Every structure is written in C-alpha cells, then in structure tokens.
Structure 1
Amino acid sequence: MKRIYILLFSLVLISCGKSEKNAETAKKQVANDNSITITQSQFGSEKMELGTLTEQSFNKTVKTNGMIDVPPQNRANVSAFLSGYVKRTPLLVGDKVKKGQLVVTLENTEFIEIQQQFLEISEQLNYLKSEFERQQTLYNEKITSQKNFLKAESTYKTSLASYNGLQKQLQMMNMNPTSVAQGNISSTINIYAPIDGYVTKVYASNGAYISSSNPIVEIINTDHIHLELSVFEKDILKIKKGQQINFKVPEASNKVFKAEVHLVGTSIDTSRTITVHGHIENEETINFVTGMFVEAEIIIDAKKGQALPKDAVLEIGNNYFALILNNQKDGNYTFNKVKLDVGENNESYLEILNTEDFENKKILTKGSFMLHLENE
C-alpha cells in the first residue's frame, strides 16, 4: 500500500513539474512575441533609423474636386452678327492672338443687300431732310397745310430711323458706314478677336457655312486662372473666405499646390453642390491649362500634436504598434512592440495620443515594417 502512495505522489510531482515548465515556456513565448532582437549588421543593412515623437500639424479638411478655370471676362466665344460662308480663317488651336486681330472672314450676298439699303437711304436722306425743313417753314408761314407738313416730317423721321438702324448694323459687321456711303460695297466682313489670349477651339474651316448663333473660335486669356470647386451642401457651412486649399492635378503631377477660398456660392445646383471659387498662389509661375481636373482639400481647422512618421507605425489588424528600443548591448538591438492610441493623420505622420508611453524613448522610425515581416 505504501508503494502505491509513493507512486501516486511521484506522478503528482512530475505532473506539477511539467505544468510549471509549460507555463514558463508560454511566458517566454509571450515575451518573445513582444520583443525583437537584431544585430548591428541587420540594423545597418536595412537602413533602419531611430527617432522620437515630434510635433506636427494636423488639419481637418473637406475633400472636394473641381477644375482649373478662368473668369467669364477672360473667355470669348467669337461669332458673327450675321450668317455667312467662311472665306478665310488664319488661326489654329494654340495660336496667340491680340485684341483686334483678324479671326475669320465671312462672305454672304446678304452683306451686299444691307450696304445697298444703307447707301440708298443715305442718298435720300439729304433730300428728305430739306423737304421736311421746307414744309416746316411753309407751315409756320401758313402757306402749306398741316397734312403736307406732317407727311414730310413722317417720311424724313422714318428714313432717319432706318438710316440709323442700318448704320448700327454696319458697325456691328465691322464695316465703316462712311466708306459704304461713298459707294464702297463689299461681299465680305471681318471678325476680330475681342480679347487677348490663346485660341483653344476652332469650330469652322474654309468654305463652311456659319450660322449667326454658332461660335467660330474660342479664345481664352490665361493671365488669371482660378479653381472652381464643387462642395456638397452638408459641408458648405464649414467653408469660409480665406481658408487654405491644398490641391493636386492628378493626371499631370503629384505635387501639392496651394490656393485660398475667395468666393463661396449662394445657391445649390441640381447635383446638391455649391461652387467655391479659389485663388491660386503664384499662378503666374505655373503652366496650368483650363479644364484640368483637380482634387482638393479645404482646411477648415488645424491643430498640433505629437506624432510618428507613418513608416514607423505597424498596422496589425485593427491595431497600431511602434517598436521602442529596450536595450542596445553587445552590438544587438532589442525592441519592444508597444500599442499606439492614434488620433489625426496627415500625408506623412500619424498623431499619437498615448505619449506618456514614449517619453524619453527611442523609437524605430524607419525599417519597422521589414523587421516585423522578418519576425512573423
């Protein structure tokens, strides 16, 4: 019986010893999961770097998009007062033009008819004026009837109105009424550039018939360009004049440009957005093209906070970690993995809220991701 008790007691001791050993092994494994040791050679070859928390700026923004545009007065769709056939169009897309430069020459027999009408009335007007003045004198002297006087007055004033109307039409056709009155009649009219700028569109070619309602060329003056952004109505109360805008032209460059909110629209369009007008910083030094698509962020608030570079942060599942230098001895580096409580973020940094865990600590700011992969 004593042998049985001794045997059972021995088995219990062995079992307890194994349990303690397993617990110790598990404890070491947990410790190993939270610490990583590397050599000086590894540290150098992976170009790892140590650093500390730094103060960074974090912005609250409204994301939006839009385009590069020009003010309405800097854009001109050139058209003709009357329809006609294109006889000459010397401009190509990209050509620079000055205000008053020839854009297109049109031809139409209707131009001749207007000039003929003006010339005929011009010739008659002197006679009708003299007759009106003569009848007025006779009427005042009781020599002629009121009927004759009123008829002469009506004929003269009607012709004068027609003369003035045709004169205005000739001026709108860029023709000189004085020259036409001298008998110089032409079947063509010239259309001139109303502004300085560049030709961005040409809608007609030689021989084409152009209606008076259709544009012939588009000219844009890029001396002043701006942003036209579309902001959803849920965000519009956050937007104020003077706020900074950071924007990119994603199809052309990754560079971030700056602008400032200049005007905020007062009506919502059918897409439930409001237009925000922004002035671009140093616009004269940047070769933007009208119509370029932009992605923008309007800064509505800003704050400063302690932060780590995004390269220093490990994202594991829904948690964030950083590696703190625990020990540097015998050419080896030992790092502990510490959980982060994160706040705002910007393009390069992540705000750290649990800063007390990192006071006077050196943090692996470069190479964390590679080190984590090697120890997976």
Structure 2
Amino acid sequence: MNSVYLKSRSNHPAISHALGLWIIAAMIGLYSCSSSSDPEIITDIAQESSGVETYEVTKMQFESSHMALGTMQMVPFHEVVKAKGMIDVPPENRAAVSSYFGGAVKEISLLPGQSVKKGQVLFVLENPDYVQIQQDFLEAKGQLAYLQSDYERQKNLVQDSISSQKKFLKAESDYTVTSARVASLGKKLALMNIDPNTFTLENIRTSIALRSPISGYVTEVAISQGAFLTPSQMAVSIVNTDHVHLELNVFEKDLAKIRIGQPIRFRIQEDSSKEYEAAIYLISKTIDPEERTVGIHGHLVDEKLTQRFNPGMYVEASIYTASEEKWALPNDALVEMEGNFYVLTLQNSSETGYTFVKRVVKTGLSNNDHIEILGGSGLDETTEFLIDGTFNLIKE
C-alpha cells in the first residue's frame, strides 16, 4: 500500500520537480565534501592511477622516528657449514694424580676449583712399607763401595797374573749386581719423591708427598683423609686452561668443503648472544662409523679469552668455507609482503621533508645483518634508500 502511495505521489508534476531538485542538491553536497577531503586521499588516487607509490615524510617525522638513509654496500657473504662440539684442552694439560705405592692419606686440603702450581704438594701418604725400600737402598749403596773396591783390586791382580780369573769374575759379578740394585732402588725412591743422591740414614721416613705434575685447577678430589689409596688409583684430577681449543664434529657430506685455516664463529650456551672467533687447526683423518661425522680441532683467534671458557662447555659453531662480496642492504631496509621484498628509495628531498618511492627488488644471499640485492630498475650504488624505518612506513 505504502509503495503504491509513494509511487502515485511521485507522478504529480510539482512533487516530481521538487524531488529532482532535492536529488541534485544532494549530489552537489556529496561532490563538495569529496573535493574538500584530506589531500592524502587525492594523492593516493593519483598514485594508484600512475602505478607508483610514494611516501611523504617531514623532517620532523624523519628525525623523531630515528629514520636513516644509506646506500648499498659491498658486503661479504659466506658459505657456512654448521658444527657442534665442546671446549677442551690438550692431553698434556690434563693430569690424573695417583701413587705408585699404596698408603693411607695422612694430609690433604684440596677443593675442586682450587688453583695449584706445578710441584706443589697435593697430599701426603703414610705406610711403614716405605721404610723397607729406603733401608734396602742404603744397605745396597753401602755394599757397593766395598764391592767396587774389591772389583778394581781383583782386576789389577788378574792382569798381573797374581789372582785367578775365577775370583775376578766373582768380584765383577757382585759389583754389577749391586750396582743394578742401587740404581733400581734409587728409581723407586725417585717415584716416592725422594732424591736418591741426597738421601741418607737421617732422612728415612714413613710418609711421602705427592706433588702436582702441572699447574692448573683441581677438577676432582677422589680421596679423603684416613682413606687408603691403592697403587694407580686416581686421587686428584687437574686441568690447565691456559690453552683451550674447540673439538667440533661436522657431517661427512661437508668434509670436502673443510680446509685448515678456515674461520670459525662459535657460541656457548652460557652466553648465546656473544660470538667468538677461532680457526681450523687440524682435521681428523677418520670418520665416526655410527654418526658419520669428522672431528675438527680449532684454535681461538684471541688466546686471551681462554679464561672465559671451561673444558666441557657445549659449543655451536659455523665454519665459513667460502666468501664473496655482494651489493647488499641492511635487513631493516627491506620489507617482505606476499612473497616480494620492497624498499623505499629517495626520490627527492627538501628543507621540509623527503619523498620516497616504493620499489620491489630481487634478493639473494643473506646473513645476520644484510641481504644481497640482485637487481631492480634504476638501482645502483648511488641510490639512496631508507635503511631504518621502512617497515613502519610501508605497513601503515
């Protein structure tokens, strides 16, 4: 009913005339609103029609947003082989201290982590059996002087045909046997840290001191006071960290890329934000049959950093096997959208601000800081780019 009523009214000439005037007025109003809109909207329309997107930035906006301009730079890009391993020390920098002679621990005052010097007394053992070795040495040494004199006398007599050959041979044999006994007992005393050249009757003792064979840090104490230490039982372990190195493993398939002298960059779990430098020193000649990996031995570039590392630390490393310089931009200069990479190039600048043009570029290699620029229309080493703040402009 209402629709029919309205339709019948619209057929009246006066009403139709008034309705037409109202529609024209509304259209004029809409046009005037559109023409007085924000200039940026008009600019956007012009950009879309020309196919080029530009961005206007005032100098105040540029400075307050900490934006920056820059050009492409020749940046080295590396082919990298990943490796894992640990911090270690050479075998000569490790020591497992034990005793050749069993004994009860009389004195010990060591703690793991304690620093020790080469020759420092680590602990003292006590055993009555030590006395017997010292006694045997002194007795054999005392007999040796007499036997040596008798041997020389018999030698002269046999030369003058005064004494028989049999007596000379007996004197020679006794002297030789006793000399060997003195020498062997002297070696035993040396293993007990007793100097046989200065040892006398007054020096006989029931205890011996075990000294550190290297300077370093105590890593393990396996004995306690009063315990009995058996021969060759490990008592104390020591490590010298003056020269630490990397022991890495790379997969067999990457072996052909590895060369001595190649740079290594590595991180430790305790501080993964910090990267350290090393170089390949040795490459193992054998392959682990189960893991199919090859051992890599690396030396630190800066030996002063050795105190920062402890043997056994886990390491993740990158071995730089090849390097080539490419034209590149910082990562922050590019924005990825729908599979394409975009940059903003400087079109012009004035006292009031900057105008940037959005361009698509082809990219190549990348590293932690830069991306290779393979090409783009009108882009070269003189082109200025917005290298900081690109993301905020394009994504707005």
Question: Which range, TM-score by smaller chain?
Answer: 0.7 to 0.9
User: Cα–Cα, structure 1 residues 314 and 136, in superposed 2: closer, same or farther, change >3 Å?
Assistant: same
Tell me the CA shift for residue 259 of structure 1. Answer: 2.5
- Normalization by structure 2: what TM-score? 0.72
Provide the secondary structure at the position in 1 that maps to 2:274.
coil
% identical aligned pairs: 41
In structure 2, the residue matched to 1:280 is 300
With structure 1 as the length reference, what TM-score do the two structures score? 0.76
Q: Secondary structure at the match of 2:287?
A: coil
**How big is the alpha-carbon RMSD for the aligned residues of Structure 1 and Structure 2?**
3.7
State whether structure 2 residue 226 is matched by structure 1 residue 207: yes
1:283 is displaced (CA, Å) by: 1.8
Where do 1:134-283 residues align within 5 Å? 141=161, 144=164, 146=166, 150-178=169-197, 180-182=199-201, 184-252=203-271, 254-270=273-289, 271-283=291-303
AA partner of residue 306 (structure 1) = W
Q: 1:288 to 1:214 in 2, by over 3 A?
A: farther
**Contact 2:98 2:235 survives alignment (8 Å):** yes
Q: Which residue is equivalent to 1:113? A: 132
Counterparts of residues 344-363 of structure 1 (less than 5 Å): 344-359=365-380, 361-363=383-385
| CA deviation after TM superposition for structure 1 residue 167, in Å | 0.9
Rounded to whole Å, the distance in 2 between the matches of 1:260 and 1:330 is: 51
Deviation at 1:186, TM superposition (A): 1.3
| Amino acid in structure 2 at the alignment position of 1:274 | V
Q: Which has the larger radius of gyration?
A: 2
Stretch of structure 1 that moved more, 69-78 or 131-140:
131-140
Alpha-carbon deviation of 1:272?
A: 3.2
List alignment gaps of at least 5 residues for structure 1.
1-26
Shift of 1:355: 4.2
Specify the alignment match of 2:5 in structure 1: none
Q: 1 CA distance for matches of 2:340 and 2:230?
A: 67
Shift of 1:353: 0.3
Contact 1:119 1:183 in 2 (8 A): no
User: AA paired with 1:276?
Assistant: I
Aligned to 2:321: 300
Distance 1:252 1:216, change over 3 A: farther
Change (3 A) 1:317 1:119: farther
| Aligned equivalents of 1:28, 1:229: Cα separation in 2 | 59
Counterpart of 1:341 (choices 344, 356, 362) is: 362
Q: Secondary structure at the match of 1:195?
A: coil
Amino acid at match of 2:321: I
Uncovered stretches (5+) of structure 2, i.e. residues with no partner: 1-43
